Amino acid sequence: MSGFRLGQPKLAGVGAAIQRYFQSRAPVYTGEPYAYVLYSPGDFPTDNLRAASAIGQHPGAARPLAIKVESNTAFIDALGRGTVGANRASHDALLKHYEDAYRKRLTWPGSSGAVRSQPLSDYAFSLETLQKTEVLTGILGTEFFTGAPGSSCGENADVNHPHMSLKLAAHLLTRPGSQARYVNVVDGGLISASGGGGYDTHDRHVRDSGRNLTNLFKGLVSIINAPGEADPGKLNLDETLIVINTEFGRTPWSQNVTGRNHHPYAYVTAMFGGPVGPEQQGIVGSIDEAGYAGNALSPATPRAAILQALGVFPFAPECYAVSDVLGATTEAGAGQLLNELVLGVTS
């Protein structure tokens, strides 16, 4: 989810660097995020998935907006701040009082301003965001939180949560005037796998993964413009980089006869669209018969390439290190390897 090991202080999802980069360059804060993480109700509530919206050593204002996409309007209702009701103005005034009091404590007598404080800056940003919830209400219509049934390979589900998330992702990226630059869709599966989620297949690996992957790809195809279609509500692959990534691989040998166990030694990441066009197609690395990667990229490398493709410097102290790109010794050399190995850009 992040390219970092769990427990690493720098652990942050790609969205944090993107949110921070574009927000810091915005002439005015509008209340609209630049990065989102979309979860479904069937996702594991664990650090593995929470890493997608983690900020590591970035400031709190860099956190992507995390949304659980489900068949109710609880999230939209919360944006209306109904719990404070008619007391909204006095409630906000109290929060502002706390900010002013803290800022005063950080101001030396006779000086013109408070000393720098990241917690104070995060609090002030949160308070400003609280005043702009109507911006999100205008972006997130109730139609994106209304479920429809789904079916894949003979398996039926009352609600197709992956398709709901993909539909919302396309809307966020293509909406006229949208500021969204990154949307991470966590696929919890159309049906639950034996170990939970959509792909923790300790039993029935082929059946469960096959059905959920088929559902994912059908949903993905439905939000991508076909050649000559030119639907403004669908993703334009000339402008949009799509990355399909998994948390880890599965063993090449069986578990419980029909299942596969966790396997951190090799997995596949697919990238297409945006800078990765037909001329850049190719395969980097390999997986041998024992399930081990050969000539592989580190988990951090594709994520660093995503940042670079967006114009975000991937080797800032809060992001990735040059050593995360295997074979690189300098920032320039690492950037060149990202272009060549991941994005397929050789010029």
Q: What is the pLDDT of residue 196?
A: 84
Q: Where are the domains of the chain?
A: 14-71+147-342
Q: How far apart are CA 153 and CA 170, in angstroms?
A: 25
- Euclidean distance between the first and the last CA atom of the chain, given in angstroms as a whole number: 30
Q: How far apart are CA 76 and CA 71, in angstroms?
A: 12
Query: Which residue from 252, 345, 343, 329 is spatially nearest to 293, judged by alpha carbons?
Result: 252
Find all residues with CB under 8 Å of 286, minimum gap 6, and list them.
293, 294, 295, 296
Give per-residue pLDDT as tens, 253-269. 999 999 999 999 999 99
List the chain residues with pLDDT less than 70: 42-47, 347
* Virtual torsion, Cα 312, 318, 319, 320, nearest 10 deg: 130
Q: How far apart are CA 5 and CA 342, in angstroms?
A: 21
Find all residues with CB under 8 Å of 113, minimum gap 6, and list them.
107
Query: Which residue from 193, 212, 192, 210 is spatially nearest to 261, judged by alpha carbons?
Result: 193
Three-class HEC string of 94-160: HHHHHHHHHHHHCCCCCCCCCCCCHHHHHHHHHHHHHCCHHHHHHHCCHHHHCCCCEEECCEEECCC
Q: What is the pLDDT of residue 111?
A: 87
Q: What is the pLDDT of residue 45?
A: 62
- Give the pair of three-digit tokens for residue 267: 């997995």
Q: What is the pLDDT of residue 163?
A: 97
- Give the pair of three-digit tokens for residue 22: 């574009």
Find all residues with CB under 8 Å of 267, minimum gap 6, and list them.
246, 248, 249
